[in-house]
Amino acid sequence: MAEARPLRLVLIGWGAIATRVAALLSERGTPARVVAVALRNGSVPRTPLPPGAVLIDDPAALSDLSPDLVLEAAGREALRQWAGAALDAAPRLVVASTSALADDAFREALIAHAVRARSRIEITPGAIGGIDALRAASVLPVESVRHTIAKPPTAWAGTPGEAILADAPPGAVTLFRGSAREAARLYPQNANATATTALAGIGLDRTEVEIVSDPALSRNRHVIEIDGAAGRMRVDLENAPSASNPKSSELTALSLVRAVENAVLPLCL
């Protein structure tokens, strides 16, 4: 019997996360082939693209590629640029930059676009765990969800936290307390995980977020506390940071790899 053709995959972005995803898919022998990498117009890849992949900078080019899955790992502005064309061209769009979905108007327009295109938007757990339990618990009333992120000081370079740390005494410093919506606005790269928690549970305005810089940490820590009719739950993770981007956890790339593999393997977990 002839082997099924590999899944045709388009990656939006070619930074730390996307390159790691492509490398892991190749190492694991996943039956998926990167047919294109999408970048902003005029951008030049810093590292070679996967064998056989083409570089595209125009969303209209997606339709000619007939992708089975488009995977975004490039930030919320890239999602805004490419998402509509991706939904038109492919039956599945996997989103890493969930902070973009904190914009209600954009999120609802994207959902409506997916319905018209008969496509699907998929959000992976990314750097966190327990999303399946939170989704299940949300079938019944949930009273509160609190998500605390703590990372080493290097993770906050180029964020509003950098200025706070410049004048802060040594030790752990709370950089932010507030809603998941505001966290996603101020810390889009670091707080994608809190947007995911909020969308899975009680929403962007009711989900409480605390962001901490802690020099005692060498890993990125996420603590998610849920209280509701289904019970009390606490998820505590200490993730290795990405080797090339301390703002992101290695688990983020691994979660995207699993999303691709779930699209091609006969048993999905």
Active site residues: 222
Separation between Cα atoms, residue 5 and residue 74, nearest integer Å: 27
Q: Which residue has the tokens 């019970």?
A: 231
Residue 223 in contact with residue 235, Cβ under 8 Å? Answer: yes
Separation between Cα atoms, residue 184 and residue 204, nearest integer Å: 9
Query: Which residue, 218, 267, 265, 261, is CA-closest to 94?
Result: 261
DSSP alpha helix (H) spans, the chain: 16-27, 76-89, 104-117, 131-137, 160-166, 180-186, 192-200, 250-264
State how far the alpha carbon of 178 is from the alpha carbons of 21, 109, 161, 168, 187, in Å.
Answer: 32, 26, 14, 20, 12
Residue 55 in contact with residue 79, Cβ under 8 Å? Answer: no
Residue 45 in contact with residue 10, Cβ under 8 Å? Answer: no
Residue 263 in contact with residue 134, Cβ under 8 Å? Answer: no
The 10 Å CB-count burial string (b at 16+, else e) for 93-122 is bbbbbbbbbbbeeebeebeebbeebebebe
